[in-house]
Structure 1
Amino acid sequence: MDEETFNLSIRKFLKVVGVSSQREIEQAIAQALADGTIAGTGRFPVTMTLELPAAKLKAKFDGEIQLE
Structure 2
Amino acid sequence: MNEETFNMATRKFLKKVGVTSQREIEKAVNKAISEGKLSGNETVKAKVTLELPELNETVEIDGAIELE
State if a TM-score over 0.5 links the two structures. yes
Q: Which residue of 1 aligns with 2:54?
A: 54
Q: Which residue of 2 aligns with 1:32?
A: 32
- Whole-angstrom distance in 1 between the partners of 2:33 and 2:64: 17
Superposed CA offset, 1:22-51 (max 9, x none): 000001000000011111111111100000
- Whole-angstrom distance in 1 between the partners of 2:63 and 2:19: 17
- Whole-angstrom distance in 2 between the partners of 1:9 and 1:40: 36
Instruction: Report the 3-state secondary structure (helix = DSSP H, G, I; strand = E; otherwise coil) of the residue aligned with 1:11.
Output: helix
Q: Which runs of 4+ in 1 moved over 2 A?
A: none
Could you list the runs of 5+ residues in structure 2 that have no partner in the other structure? none
State how 1:9-28 maps to structure 2 within 5 Å. 9-28=9-28
TM-score (normalizing by structure 2)? 0.95
Quote the sequence identity (%): 50
TM-score (normalizing by structure 1)? 0.95
- In the comparison of the two structures, how many residue pairs are matched? 68
